[in-house]
């Protein structure tokens, strides 16, 4: 096996012309790729009965966003982990991105609140927080109007990606995808999380949460990554600059 030659022979130059150029044309394509949410997706929640924050609905096929349970005791958001792919040691490899989830229905009137989409700070573990019940650590939980909180989460490291991605005007039983503006925000969020390759293998988290707190039981229901119908799983679809082939791959020959 010989590798790169400083002066390739005419014969080998012809080999490169015949074999390598088609290879390069293939590897520079920008086909769509999909990242499915991990089944670690869950509902960070606050329970009025125990006065605790905790992680709920870890293995449920659907998650209710708003208030559910007797008297609406559980205040729930939904957080979905996605693992950052290996696209090489490059800056800003993502060229386009969108997020899609399945909206299966509602219970009671949800006219008083909408769902907003956020990106949370990346972490090295897929777990939604708080993993253990706590009276003080809200973890990934957020709900507009809860305990006097503003409609918009302005926590450092949290990025609002799309306002009102789900409202009572959207048909139940449909897939919902980020708008053009929301997709652009998601693209920036993913490229920032990629961090020139430092973020490879880490987890980014998309959160859907109510922008106002319902007075009682009322919620939107969304399919999780545990749903039996894989078409309903939350997903990020992206295109990216593919990494260059490793040295020796294109210009090696026997
Ligand atoms: Ca889950
Ligand atoms: Ca909103």
The answer, yes or no, to whether residue 27 has pLDDT greater than 70, is no
Ligand located closest to 58 CA: 1
Ligand nearest to the CA of 145: 2
Ligand index nearest the alpha carbon of residue 57: 1
- Residue 83 confidence (pLDDT): 98
Distance 80 CA to ligand 1 centre (A): 8
The ligand placed nearest to the CA atom of residue 227 is 1
pTM of the model as a whole: 0.86
**Residues listed for the chain:** 254
Whether 247 shows a pLDDT value over 90: the answer reads: no
- The model's confidence at residue 173, banded by pLDDT at 50, 70 and 90, is very high
Domain boundaries, the chain: 32-240
pLDDT bin (cut points 50, 70, 90) of residue 244 is: low
Residue 8 has pLDDT above 90, yes or no: no
**What is the whole-number distance in angstroms between the Cα of residue 44 and the centre of ligand 2?**
19
Ligand nearest to the Cα of 210, by number: 2
What is the distance in A from the centroid of ligand 2 to the CA of 107?
Answer: 19
CA-to-CA dists, residue 58 to 31, 201, 212, angstroms: 32, 22, 24
Res. 21: pLDDT tops 60 = no
Distance 232 CA to ligand 1 centre (A): 13
Mean confidence (pLDDT) of the chain = 89
Residue 3 has pLDDT above 50, yes or no: no
- pLDDT class for 245, splitting at 50, 70, 90? low
CA of 187 to the centre of ligand 1 (A): 24
Measured from the alpha carbon of residue 128, the closest ligand is 1
Q: What is the 3-state secondary structure (H, E, C) of 29-53?
A: CCCCEEEECCCCCEEEEEECCCCEE
CA of 13 to the centre of ligand 2 (A): 60
pLDDT in tens, 54-97: 999 999 999 999 999 999 999 999 999 999 999 999 999 999 99
pLDDT for 10 beyond 60: no
- Residue 242 has a pLDDT of 72
Q: Tell me the CA–centroid distance for residue 56 and ligand 1, in Å.
A: 9
Specify the range with the lowest mean pLDDT, choosing from 34-43, 224-233, 241-250. Answer: 241-250
229-238: average pLDDT = 98
The pLDDT of residue 94 is 98
Rounded to the nearest angstrom, the distance between the alpha carbon of 43 and the centre of ligand 2 is 19
- Ligand with the closest atom to the CA of 41: 1
CA of 164 to the centre of ligand 2 (A): 4
What is the number of the ligand closest to the CA of 166?
A: 2
Weakest-pLDDT range from 18-27, 126-135, 148-157: 18-27
Which ligand is nearest the CA of 209, by number?
2
Which tens digits make up the pLDDT trace of 204-215?
999 999 999 999
């Amino acid at each position: 096996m010989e590798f790169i030659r400083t002066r390739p022979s005419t014969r080998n130059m012809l080999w490169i012309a015949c074999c390598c150029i088609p290879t390069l044309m293939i590897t520079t394509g920008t086909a769509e790729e999909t990242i499915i949410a991990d089944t670690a997706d869950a509902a960070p929640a606050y329970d009025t009965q125990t006065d605790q924050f905790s992680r709920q609905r870890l293995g449920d096929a659907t998650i209710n966003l708003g208030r559910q349970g007797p008297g609406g005791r559980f205040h729930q958001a939904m957080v979905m982990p996605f693992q950052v792919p290996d696209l090489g040691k490059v800056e800003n490899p993502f060229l386009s991105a969108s997020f899609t989830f399945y909206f299966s229905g509602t219970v009671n009137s949800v006219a008083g609140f909408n769902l907003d989409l956020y990106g949370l700070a990346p972490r090295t573990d897929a777990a939604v927080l708080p993993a253990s019940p706590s009276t003080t650590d809200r973890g990934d939980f957020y709900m507009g109007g809860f305990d006097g909180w503003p409609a918009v989460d302005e926590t450092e490291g949290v990025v609002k990606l799309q306002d009102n991605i789900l409202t009572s005007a959207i048909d139940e039983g449909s897939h919902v995808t980020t708008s053009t503006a929301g997709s652009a925000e998601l693209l920036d969020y993913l490229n920032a999380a990629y961090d020139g390759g430092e973020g490879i293998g880490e987890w980014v988290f998309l959160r859907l949460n109510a922008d106002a707190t319902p007075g009682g039981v009322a919620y939107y229901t969304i399919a999780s990554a545990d749903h039996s119908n894989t078409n309903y799983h939350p997903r990020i679809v992206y295109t990216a600059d593919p990494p260059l082939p490793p040295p020796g791959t294109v210009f090696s020959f026997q």
